[in-house]
């Protein structure tokens, strides 16, 4: 059983009629945890969303990292919304661990560090779970034993890539890559030692539509751009490995090592001191299972300051995207910020010119996020402010 309560936006309003299930929502990919971690560069929170203390935020839950980061920024309320109830259950486990365990134990309980007895750590966190989430996790002892923070389908795809690359390049070269802290030396290393024929062939396979459709689901790419995504991914990975300082890039470490290097180089919510800060604020987090469009349609006017929308626009047709924007403008408070990503495979969605004068696109900020982005996989992010 999963926690599938559709939470009404607060203050309460009539619950919207549920949207008809689309292929996407019923796809096998969503019958489990899709994402254990957010694979969008978290700098978008600070640069793009710019949360201020006391503000009300709506974040697509996914792996929960951004919802927790917004709380860390002292948001007054964070609604963590996802139509996949498994994501809601994962966030419940993470918050239960934060409530009951110390920092090192949180890492160990979730599978990011070895644990002598992970089941015992779960036993302690379990006390802080709601009955529905307790039932969910009690029935998934194997996921707990292997580490819930590694269980997402996307995470497993990334880790499979990490293993294949390590096999191809050898452990020594991977270690050398992860130690790079000088831009010129990293570029030379990539050009002279890393970038060979076999490497390019592996990239072609790992990012082919054939493999992506099996690792995710073809319905993820219903609104795909023309042509093979492999060359776009190859360019993105090349930029990442040549240009983005590898030593500090905890996303790259996660791909190869299935954990983060330390409590400085890791997602904000896990960083030293963050779990203790979060523990005191968890009551401001409202996890909810439900659909973004339905949630916005039912939300009161001018009630949200921050919208963290992941790459949800990738998965909807143009007319639903525009209907969503209309609701978003209505629900936004003056000066609200929104961020959304576009997967490299998908067609980029921008607010149609002239139709949404309230949505002021912040290209310079988006460029700054994109230029420094430490994860491959996106053609870019949209950053905007709602002026009313
Ligand atoms: C869009 S996916 C992409 C994940 C992201 N790129 C990452 O790796 O961090 C993130 C989450 O959005 C949820 N999602 C997608 N469309 C949604 C919608 N319309 N309403 C609610 N949740 C949605 C999915 O269930 C998934 O857990």
Q: Which domain holds residue 219?
A: 153-257
Q: How far, in Å, from the CA of 312 to the mean position of ligand 1? A: 6
Distance CA 337, CA 52 (A): 11
Residue 217 located in a structural domain: yes
Give the DSSP H or E segment for 325.
helix 318-331
Closest ligand 1 atom, CA of 295?
20
Distance CA 194, CA 197 (A): 10
Q: How far, in Å, from the CA of 329 to the mean position of ligand 1? A: 20
Residue 367 located in a structural domain: no
* CA-to-CA dists, residue 14 to 2, 97, 114, 205, angstroms: 23, 33, 46, 48
CA neighbours closer than 13 Å in the CB half-sphere of residue 82: 28
Residue 190 located in a structural domain: yes
Runs of H (alpha helix) within 45-117: 65-72, 85-100, 103-110
Q: How far, in Å, from the CA of 82 to the mean position of ligand 1? A: 7
Mutate to test the pocket of ligand 1, among 29, 312, 328 (most ligand atoms within 8 A of CB): 312
Report whether pLDDT(218) > 80: no
How far from each other are the two terminal CA atoms of the chain, in whole angstroms?
43
How would residue 23 be classed by pLDDT, with cut points 50, 70 and 90? Answer: low
Distance CA 94, CA 92 (A): 5
Number of domains the chain contains = 1
What mean pLDDT is predicted for residues 157-162?
A: 93
Q: What percent of the chain has pLDDT over 70?
A: 94
Closest ligand 1 atom, CA of 25?
25
Distance CA 67, CA 86 (A): 16
Q: Which protein residues touch ligand 1 with a CB less than 6 Å away?
A: 34-35, 38-40, 60, 62, 81-84, 87, 154, 291-293, 310-312, 315
Distance CA 70, CA 385 (A): 17
Q: How far, in Å, from the CA of 58 to the mean position of ligand 1? A: 13
Residue 292 located in a structural domain: no
Residue 240 located in a structural domain: yes
Residue with the bigger pLDDT between 187 and 229: it is 187
Report whether pLDDT(9) > 70: no
Q: How far, in Å, from the CA of 332 to the mean position of ligand 1? A: 20
Residue 246 located in a structural domain: yes
Q: What are phi and psi of 113, to 5 degrees?
A: -140, 155
Distance CA 330, CA 13 (A): 15
Pick the closest to residue 292 from 146, 80, 31 (CA basis).
80
- In contact, 267 and 283? CB cutoff 8 Å: no
Q: How far, in Å, from the CA of 62 to the mean position of ligand 1? A: 6
Residue 226 located in a structural domain: yes
Distance CA 82, CA 51 (A): 20
Q: How far, in Å, from the CA of 227 to the mean position of ligand 1? A: 24
pLDDT tens digits along 57-99: 999 999 999 999 999 999 999 999 999 999 999 999 999 999 9
Distance CA 42, CA 63 (A): 12
Closest ligand 1 atom, CA of 65?
9
CA neighbours closer than 13 Å in the CB half-sphere of residue 136: 21
Neighbouring residues of 182: CB distance < 8 A, sequence distance ≥ 6:
none
Q: Token digits for 291?
A: 């659909």
Q: What are phi and psi of 81, to 5 degrees?
A: -120, 135
Residue 249 located in a structural domain: yes
Mutate to test the pocket of ligand 1, among 4, 6, 32, 35 (most ligand atoms within 8 A of CB): 35
C-alpha 69 chain-centroid distance: 11
In this predicted structure, which of 79-88, 201-210, 242-251, 351-360 has the lowest mean pLDDT? 201-210
């Amino acid at each position: 059983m999963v926690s599938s309560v559709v939470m009404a936006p607060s203050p309460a309003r009539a619950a919207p009629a549920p949207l008809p299930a689309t292929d996407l929502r019923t796809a096998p990919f969503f019958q489990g945890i899709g994402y254990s971690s957010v694979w969008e560069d978290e700098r978008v929170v600070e640069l793009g969303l710019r949360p201020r203390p006391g503000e009300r935020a709506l974040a697509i839950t996914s792996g929960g990292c951004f919802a927790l980061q917004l709380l860390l920024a002292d948001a007054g309320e964070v609604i963590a919304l996802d139509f996949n109830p498994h994501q809601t259950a994962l966030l419940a486990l993470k918050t239960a661990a934060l409530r009951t365990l110390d920092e090192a134990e949180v890492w160990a309980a979730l599978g990011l560090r070895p644990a002598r007895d992970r089941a015992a750590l779960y036993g302690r966190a379990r006390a802080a779970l709601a009955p529905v989430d307790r039932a969910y996790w009690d029935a998934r002892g194997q996921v707990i034993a292997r580490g819930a923070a590694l269980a997402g389908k996307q995470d497993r795809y990334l880790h499979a890539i990490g293993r294949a690359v390590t096999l191809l390049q050898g452990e020594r070269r991977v270690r050398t890559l992860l130690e790079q802290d000088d831009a010129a030396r990293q570029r030379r290393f990539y050009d002279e030692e890393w970038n060979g024929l076999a490497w390019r062939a592996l990239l072609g396979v790992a990012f082919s539509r054939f493999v992506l459709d099996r690792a995710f689901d073809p319905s993820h790419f219903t609104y795909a751009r023309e042509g093979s995504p492999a060359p776009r991914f190859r360019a993105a990975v090349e930029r990442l490995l040549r240009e983005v300082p590898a030593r500090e890039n905890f996303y790259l470490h996660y791909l190869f090592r299935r954990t983060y290097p330390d409590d400085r180089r890791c997602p904000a919510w896990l960083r030293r001191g963050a779990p203790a800060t979060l523990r005191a604020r968890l009551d401001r987090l409202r996890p909810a299972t439900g659909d973004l469009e339905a949630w916005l349609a039912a939300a009161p006017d001018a009630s949200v300051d921050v919208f963290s929308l992941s790459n949800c626009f990738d998965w909807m047709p143009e007319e639903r995207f525009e209907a969503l924007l209309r609701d978003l403008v209505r629900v936004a408070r003056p000066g609200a910020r929104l961020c959304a990503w576009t997967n490299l495979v998908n067609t980029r969605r921008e607010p149609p010119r002239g139709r949404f004068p309230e949505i002021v696109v912040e290209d310079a900020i988006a460029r700054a996020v994109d230029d420094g982005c430490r994860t491959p996989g996106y053609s870019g992010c949209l950053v905007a402010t709602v002026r009313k």
